[in-house]
């Protein structure tokens, strides 16, 4: 189960090397997993409204080829592993058929007090938790 | 009453034109007024802890010469006008003796419900409210 | 002649007040004018490839109501004034029928040496220069 | 050989969870290695002026405790491994004695054409290349 979200590179996201500044891929991963969840039926803001947060505890990115200004990037997102306590997402960044990079993030589910929480069963299907 | 805060230009703040992307000056204005308030005895987070926010309702910036990577910029901040309800800050951006730009922001004081509020008298001195 | 571009609010763009951090509207103005130009037949990167830059010399924004996480914002962009030397854009930010704010930017056309330049006649139509 | 650089958390860097948005640590790593190099005698802009870039090919971050608005963060930076072709930096984020997170970045040295290059011997000492 994967989802592809589109991101158009903003001038704001470039740097003086003439390419996208690397930290922006981490923001694009957010776009990827949020659109993944929306496509699976759960806008992330509804999860927060219900009192649950997906806090990032780890983020990794490998850069293979630079993204450029105005590129239309596709962020392919998948769930690598999910339990009621935590979830791992994997990402691949594409410009057309060219792979620009890969990323991973690991998240803990937290409650409103930002303490570790158990994701209620009604949300398990969204993330493929079995 | 003015205050000068220093900002070192980050690579992340440049764009592919080889200069600082213009929206970052608006962030530097935040640094300027926060350091102004700290120098006047009020870390902004204490104001928030007391239940008051300075919401931005207007921001303006004029760009005279581009800031460059690794430049040490001085953000000179002053209060242009202040009442218990609202406050106007003025900013000048310097690289040494060269003026790089000027800005202004207008703020409303809000309470925890993000409704307009009257700033308590104990904070008036910080902003020169008479 | 106006154009409406859509921007989905990213978590990265929010701040701890629970609303969009104000400097991000300045980035959205970039999205607005770039999509305006694309809709008029000129991707901005083609203008740069031809050796012309639209440097921002002034940016202004008024905030009427806060944009929130995951909002779908429409950035309505129009040309307020244009000559072969400079151009003024105007922007209105909408969430559905609610106006969230308004902005303006002023630009100089620059050449590859980042010196003021005269925009060639072939591009005048894009910006309504007569 | 380690270096500690200070970063004051900006409001712009927080998100609506009330903590620092995770991608900003990746920017702080840039601050860390740039200040590391400056302390070792090489402002990064001089390296670029000489025609060499340190392109990021991998970035990783683990988050242990959230950084908060106005925190004064120390970014401790060290070289984990360095050759004339590539360099690995390691980072630890501190708020006082509390470790907030850890990161790593891997870089290739590139020339002006953004092709892999061999770092000249005169710069080896800065990064502990033997």
**Distance between CA C13 and CA A44 in Å, rounded?**
15
Rounded mean pLDDT of D83-101? Answer: 98
Going along chain C from its start, the domains and CATH numbers come out as 2-127 (3.10.129.10)
C69 CB within 8 Å of a chain D CB: yes
- pLDDT digits over A24-59, tens only? 999 999 999 999 999 999 999 999 999 999 999 999
Cβ atoms of C54 and C77 closer than 8 Å: no
Nearest-CB residue to B10 (from D12, D27, D70): D27
CA distances from D79 to A61, B11, C120, D27 (A): 19, 20, 50, 17
- D2: Cβ contacts below 8 Å, ≥ 6 apart: D36, D76, D77, D78
Structure tokens at D10: 């900006």
Asked if the Cβ–Cβ distance from C23 to B22 is below 8 Å, we say no
- pLDDT digits over B83-125, tens only? 999 999 999 999 999 999 999 999 999 999 999 999 999 999 9
CA dihedral B81, B82, B86, B92 (to 10 degrees): 50
Tally Cβ neighbours within 10 Å of residue C49.
9
Q: Which residue of B has its CA nearest to D27?
A: B12
Give me the interface pTM, i.e. the ipTM: 0.97
**Distance between CA A117 and CA A127 in Å, rounded?**
16
Asked if the Cβ–Cβ distance from A12 to B18 is below 8 Å, we say no
Nearest-CB residue to A30 (from C12, C27, C34): C12
Instruction: With beta carbons under 8 A apart, name residues in chain D contacting C21.
Output: 11-12
Cβ atoms of A28 and A76 closer than 8 Å: no
Per-residue pLDDT of chain C (130 residues; tens, 9 = 90+): 899 999 999 999 999 999 999 999 999 999 999 999 999 999 999 999 999 999 999 999 999 999 999 999 999 999 999 999 999 999 999 999 999 999 999 999 999 999 999 999 999 999 999 8
Active site residues of B: 15
Cβ atoms of A36 and A5 closer than 8 Å: yes
- pLDDT digits over B13-56, tens only? 999 999 999 999 999 999 999 999 999 999 999 999 999 999 99
Instruction: With beta carbons under 8 A apart, name residues in chain C contacting D21.
Output: 11-12
User: C17, C18, C23, C54: which to substitute to probe chain B, counting the most B Cβ within 10 Å?
Assistant: C23
Tally Cβ neighbours within 10 Å of residue A41.
10
**Distance between CA B70 and CA B13 in Å, rounded?**
10
By three-state DSSP, how is residue D109 classified? strand
Q: How many CA atoms lie within 13 A of B125 on its CB side?
A: 5
Report the pLDDT value the prediction gives residue A33, as an integer from 0 to 100.
Answer: 98
């Amino acid at each position: 189960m994967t989802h592809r979200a589109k991101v158009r590179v903003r001038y704001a996201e470039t740097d003086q090397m003439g390419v996208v500044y690397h930290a922006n891929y981490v923001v694009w991963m957010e776009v990827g997993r949020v659109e993944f969840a929306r496509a699976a039926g759960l806008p992330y803001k509804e999860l927060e409204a219900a009192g649950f947060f997906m806090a990032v505890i780890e983020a990794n990115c490998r850069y293979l080829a630079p993204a450029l200004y105005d590129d239309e990037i596709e962020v392919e997102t998948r769930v690598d592993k999910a339990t009621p306590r935590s979830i791992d997402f994997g990402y691949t960044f594409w410009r057309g058929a060219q792979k620009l990079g890969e990323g991973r993030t690991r998240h803990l589910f937290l409650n409103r007090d930002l303490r570790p929480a158990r994701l209620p069963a009604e949300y398990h299907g969204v993330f493929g938790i079995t």
